[in-house]
């Protein structure tokens, strides 16, 4: 078996594995159905080495010459559309169509051209250079340019340079006097092996990008309250921990406020749980708008919410909480009117976030006891928790 034949068989197998892998990912992850696009790209690409294997033994080589060339081009361009769809951006259909039409015109123009002649080989490879460069551009334009995404884009750039170098390799080593002779040439071995290695590397990077996106989404879902869209208790604790580490390093204050919707049970009993859910969402939206941008906001469960104010002392937190209380009392959104109460506490250097939140909870209970629709502040002194004074705003 000639080395090029072996390389073609390997390329078919690798492309098939990628097509199957992306299809399985798309099938098992409903939020990542766009991975089917990657699967289709590799499935189409499989036709190229398959056509080149069948071409020498066929009595009619022209159809395989067409499928070899255009399946590879279609696979690359399908990948460009799939990448855009993966990132929920419009596919560059104009560029895709322009490259495909240019490829068809060039291939028709050089159909009977002299093989291994540099202008012929440059014209043959030019559309593949353009398609690979388009992949690099689409990935950089649509992604957030995380390390893996940049690495994948760079790999597509290397693939483009690789196609640009191929004409010179064909001229140096010879690609066979005809398409039938290609499979036995040294150039075929170099071409199949190098293209296979580079596209395997690009495929692995795109596979990692896809898996990373799934993991990131799963982590986000595990840290997000589905009703309010805010962080849940787990997410709040994780984000708050990072804030506390930064604050400790910079020796800056951090404060916490715990909010509760007043008479929430009465809202549910009077208007129904669906309306109660809308009130939860309404308060969540209000907190997003009224809280400082750097604040960590979370729904702790039921009608209880928590905010962590970075670089904010207790008085600053009280003023922020008071602004939120007034907004809840005065805002008209079509929901049943509601008010909120809150307890505020500074996070002392010698205590955990949990301890500070317990003091804020005590302040919240005091606000409820004193009639609701108010803010109470837990005094930050060195005394034990059950001796804390509660200051009413």
Question: Helix, strand or coil for residue 305?
Answer: strand
Catalytic annotation present for 303: yes
Rounded to whole angstroms, the Cα distance separating 137 from 3 reads 34
Structure tokens at 307: 């905010």
- How do beta strands 304-310 and 390-392 pair? unpaired
Residue 246: CB partners within 8 Å, gap ≥ 6?
252, 310
Cα gap 80→91, rounded to integer Å: 7
DSSP secondary structure code for residue 224 in this structure = B
214 token code pair: 């799934």
Sheet holding 390-392, edge to edge: 296-301, 304-310, 254-261, 340-346, 375-378, 390-392
The alpha-helical segments, DSSP class H, found in the chain are 3-28, 35-45, 47-54, 62-86, 93-109, 118-142, 147-173, 186-222, 233-250, 264-271, 273-290, 314-330, 353-369
User: Hey, how many other C-beta atoms are within 10 angstroms of the C-beta on 187?
Assistant: 21
Given the residues 52, 149, 278, 303, select the one marked as catalytic.
303
Question: The tokens of 300 are what?
Answer: 């702790």
In this structure, are residues 346 and 252 in contact, taking their beta carbons and an 8 Å threshold?
A: no
List, by residue number, the catalytic residues: 303
């Amino acid at each position: 078996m000639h080395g090029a034949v072996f390389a073609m068989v390997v390329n078919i197998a690798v492309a098939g594995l990628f097509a199957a892998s992306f299809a399985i990912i798309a099938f098992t992850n409903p939020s990542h159905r766009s991975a089917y696009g990657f699967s289709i790209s590799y499935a189409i690409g499989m036709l190229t080495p398959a056509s080149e294997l069948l071409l020498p033994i066929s009595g009619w080589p022209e159809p395989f010459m067409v499928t070899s060339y255009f399946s590879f081009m279609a696979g690359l361009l399908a990948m460009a559309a799939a990448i855009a769809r993966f990132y929920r951006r419009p596919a560059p259909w104009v560029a895709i169509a322009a490259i495909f039409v240019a490829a068809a015109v060039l291939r028709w123009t050089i159909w009977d051209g002299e093989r291994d002649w540099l202008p012929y080989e440059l014209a043959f490879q030019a559309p593949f250079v353009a398609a690979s460069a388009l992949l690099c551009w689409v990935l950089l334009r649509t992604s957030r340019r995380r390390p893996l995404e940049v690495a994948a884009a760079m790999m597509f750039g290397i693939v483009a340079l690789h196609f640009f170098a191929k004409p010179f390799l064909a001229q140096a080593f010879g690609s066979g006097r005809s398409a039938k002779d290609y499979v036995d040439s040294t150039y075929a071995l170099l071409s199949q092996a190098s293209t296979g290695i580079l596209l395997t590397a690009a495929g692995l990077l795109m596979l990692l990008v896809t898996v990373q996106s799934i993991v990131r989404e799963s982590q986000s879902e595990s840290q997000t309250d589905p009703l309010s869209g805010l962080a849940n208790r787990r997410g709040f604790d994780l984000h708050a921990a990072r804030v506390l580490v930064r604050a400790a390093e910079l020796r800056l204050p951090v404060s916490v406020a715990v909010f509760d919707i007043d008479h929430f049970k009465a809202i549910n009993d009077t208007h129904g749980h669906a309306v109660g859910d809308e009130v939860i969402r309404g308060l969540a939206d209000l907190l997003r708008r009224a809280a400082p941008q750097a604040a960590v906001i979370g729904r702790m469960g039921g009608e209880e919410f928590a905010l962590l104010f970075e670089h904010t002392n207790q008085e600053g937190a009280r003023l922020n909480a008071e602004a939120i209380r007034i907004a809840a009392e005065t805002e008209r959104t079509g929901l049943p009117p509601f008010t909120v109460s809150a307890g505020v506490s500074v996070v002392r250097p010698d205590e955990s976030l949990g301890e500070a939140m317990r003091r804020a909870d005590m302040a919240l209970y005091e606000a409820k006891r004193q009639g609701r629709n108010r803010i109470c502040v837990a005094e930050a002194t060195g005394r034990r928790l059950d001796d804390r004074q509660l200051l009413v705003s």
